[in-house]
Amino acid sequence: MSKTPKLMVGNWKMHGSLSANAAFVAGLTAGVSGFACRAALCVPAVYLAQMQALLAATPVALGAQDLSAHDVGAYTGEVSAQMLRDFSVRYAIVGHSERRQYHGETDAQVATKAQRALAAGITPIVCVGESLAEREAGLTESVVKRQLAAVIHANGHCISEIVVAYEPVWAIGTGLTATPEQAQQVHAVLRAQLRAASAHAPRMPILYGGSMNASNVASLLDQADVDGGLVGGASLKGPDFLSMLAVAAR
C-alpha cells in the first residue's frame, strides 16, 4: 500500500505583517511546486483574508490557529468554524499547548472545537502533549491518551477525519526536541489508540511538533509513525521551511 504523502504545517503563532506575509509566500510558492508532500500555513486570524488570496493558486493550504467552541452568539472576540470556511480555511489547530496553558482550555473544550471544525468541513489538527514534570513522572502515555480520548469520544465515526499532533510541551519554543525514538514511542501509542477507534487509523496523519527544524526534520520523519510536522519558529523562515518540505517530499 502506498504511503500517504507527509503533511507539513507551519504555525506562525502571533507573528506576521502584511508586507512580510506577501514576501514569504512569494518565496515559498516559487520553490514549492512539484513537491510530493502536503503543506499548510496556520496564520493569525487577522491575516486570513490576505493569505486566502496569496495562497489561492498554490498547493499550500490555509489554516487557522484556533476556532470557537460555539457556532454563533454573544462571544466577543471569538471566530466560528463557519466564519473560517468563508476564507477557504482547510485546517484549524485545536488544543495547542499554549491555548491549554494560557487560556485554560480543557480536554472537553478541545473535543468540542474539533467537533465544530469537522461539522464545517475543516480538518482539526488536535494537539496533545505532556509537560516536563509529567514526562519525568512517567505520565506521558496516560496524559496524551487522556487528551486524545476526549476527542475520540466526542467525535465518534468522524474521528478518521482528524489530524493529530504530538507536541511535548517541554520541547515547544525551548530549542529542546524529543529524540526520534522518543517521538516514535509516543506516536506508536497514539496510533494504537486511533486504531482501536477507527479502521482508517493507518492513514490518519500524526504530526510531530516541538522545535522541529531543518536540521532534525529528516531523522524525525524517518520514524514509522511520524507522518509530518507542526512547525513553529522554522516555518517563519522561508528557506528553512522550504528545505523541510523538500525532506518531507522524499
Catalytically active residues are 96, 167
- List all residues 6 or more positions away from 170 whose beta carbon is below 8 Å from its beta carbon: 130, 131, 132, 135, 176, 210
Report which secondary-structure segment, H or E, holds 107: helix 107-119
Torsion of CA 128, 134, 137, 142, to 10 degrees: -30
Q: Are 202 and 181 in contact (CB under 8 A)?
A: no
Q: How many angstroms separate the CA atoms of 47 and 49, rounded?
A: 6
- DSSP assignment letter at 156: G
Q: How many Cβ atoms from other residues are within 10 Å of residue 29's Cβ?
A: 15
Q: How many angstroms separate the CA atoms of 21 and 15, rounded?
A: 9
Task: Let me know if 97 is exposed, middle or buried by CB neighbors in 10 A (0-12, 13-18, 19+).
Answer: buried
Q: How many angstroms separate the CA atoms of 225 and 165, rounded?
A: 11
Distances (CA, A) of 200 to 113, 163, 184: 22, 12, 19
